[in-house]
Amino acid sequence: MPKIARTIERSVFYLFRKDPKTAAITGPHGTGVLIARESGQLAGELHYYAVTNKHVACALGASIIRLNTADGGTRFIDLGPEDWEFLPEGDDIAAADLDYRLRPGHDQVTHNNEDGFVSKAAIDGFEIGPGEDVFMCGLFSSHHGGDRNVPSVRFGNLSVLANDAAPIELETGARLPSHVVDMRSRSGYSGSPVFVYRVPSSDLTTIPEDWNMAQRGEGIFQIGRRNDHFLGFLGLHCGQFWDPVEVRVRRQKKRAERAGDPIKEGDRLLIQSGMTIVAPAWRITDLLNLEVFEMARKKRDDEREEQWLRRPRAESVEPDTDTDANPDHLQDFKRLVDIAAKKKEKD
């Protein structure tokens, strides 16, 4: 398995909820990831978003974000389910606007740039298909880090690409095209970013000079130009397939039923299959294209542009055009220059 850059871990956060009876914050209950979109109006400006599953932030109510801080602690961004937007088609993804909520230098976070998303064109161009290596980073509920977010990484392989002819039923009840990865997942990873990669080495934190790739998003390498080297944001973990199994007891070891046994022979149970459903990254792009986000970005860009135009500027020195004071000032200047030049030659 390759070594993963710490910047990917720092782009992940945990989600908490308020107990409806006590108002105490409980959790963590799920995972989310920071996404940045470049401004279409101001060069170098970014807009930041938290992205997770709709069933986590809205249905479960785990809408409160916990970020790690540079001083070794954490802090909460207190959002409610109403602060998260989602697509009307029923996708199991939701996003919240984080502009002006992040604290640069204080929060120990990075982000994933939208230009690193694996698009349909990238799938065709790089011939991405079943068997590709994938990994996700998120909340392992049995060992989540306690008072600090300590995400874990799980590895697997791409099993099925999203196909319009084969939609998958999501937690929301909608049936939509989704990727499927063969990965040992479990509750808590909902909302985790899933990456697909192809490398000749075992270290994703370094990169050969001939990779010819752009480094964006605080050290997260995006898809490059060579088909044998890439790292791309495949999508968002949004659920698992559940398989029905029948409880059986081997006859030679059959024992008497104990009083209170909740499960008996012949019962059919649902268990997690290990096949994970991934919402395609391009659906996150569709989500960020919602009018509510577009209007907010336009308003902020206008404010930032106005602030830039009003910035303090150094006073310029205007040439002396008062010819009444010295009508021959230009001639006098040239005469002095000539005198100085002749003196230098004589010396």
Q: Which pLDDT belongs to residue 309?
A: 84
Has residue 220 got a pLDDT over 50?
no
Dihedral sign, Cα of residue 20, residue 25, residue 31, residue 32: positive
Please give the Cα distance from 32 to 111 (Å, whole number): 11
If you ran DSSP here, which 8-state letter would residue 98 be given? -
Q: Could you identify the residue written with the tokens 């059919």?
A: 268
Residues 197 and 234: their CA atoms lie apart, in Å, by: 9
- What pTM, to 2 d.p., does this model score? 0.78
Percent of the chain clearing pLDDT 90 (strictly above): 51
Q: What is the pLDDT of residue 293?
A: 97
How do residues 113-130 score in pLDDT, each as one tens digit? 998 999 999 898 888 999
For residue 214, what are its two tokens?
């752009």
Neighbours of 95 (CB within 10 A): 24
Higher-pLDDT residue of 216 and 47 is 47
Q: What are the C-alpha distances in Å from 45 to residues 38, 50, 208, 220, 288?
A: 6, 17, 29, 18, 16
What tokens does 143 get? 């060992």
In whole angstroms, what is the distance from residue 119 CA to residue 232 CA?
A: 9
Reported as a single tens digit per residue, the pLDDT across 82-101 is 999 999 999 999 999 998 99
3-state secondary structure 149-161: CCCEEEEEEEEEC
Alpha-helical (H) ranges within the chain are 6-9, 54, 120-125, 281-288, 291-309, 329-346
Give the tokens for residue 18. Answer: 């308020």
Domains and CATH numbers, the chain: 6-249+268-307 (2.40.10.10)
pLDDT of residue 45 exceeding 80: yes
Q: What is the mean pLDDT of residues 291-309?
A: 92
pLDDT beyond 60 at 333:
no
Question: Is residue 211 scored above 60 in pLDDT?
Answer: no
Q: Would you say residue 214 has pLDDT above 50? A: no
pLDDT digits 0-9 by tens, 139-153: 877 677 778 999 999
Q: Rounded mean pLDDT of the chain?
A: 82
Rg (CA), the chain: 29
Tell me the average pLDDT across 41-69.
94
Whether residue 218 has pLDDT greater than 50: no
Tell me the average pLDDT across 272-279: 83
Tell me, what's the pLDDT at 111? 93
Q: When comparing pLDDT for 30 and 257, which is higher?
A: 30
Distance CA 171, CA 59 (A): 10
Give the Cα separation of 277 and 176 in Å (integer).
11
pLDDT at 266 over 70: no
Average pLDDT value for residue range 243-269: 60
The answer on pLDDT for 300 being more than 90 is yes
**% of the chain exceeding 70 in pLDDT:** 72
Assigned token pair, 279: 């919402």
> What number is the average pLDDT over the span 28-55?
94
At 344 the three-state DSSP class reads: helix
pLDDT beyond 50 at 216: no
Widest CA span of the chain, in angstroms? Answer: 122
| pLDDT above 70 (res 325) | no
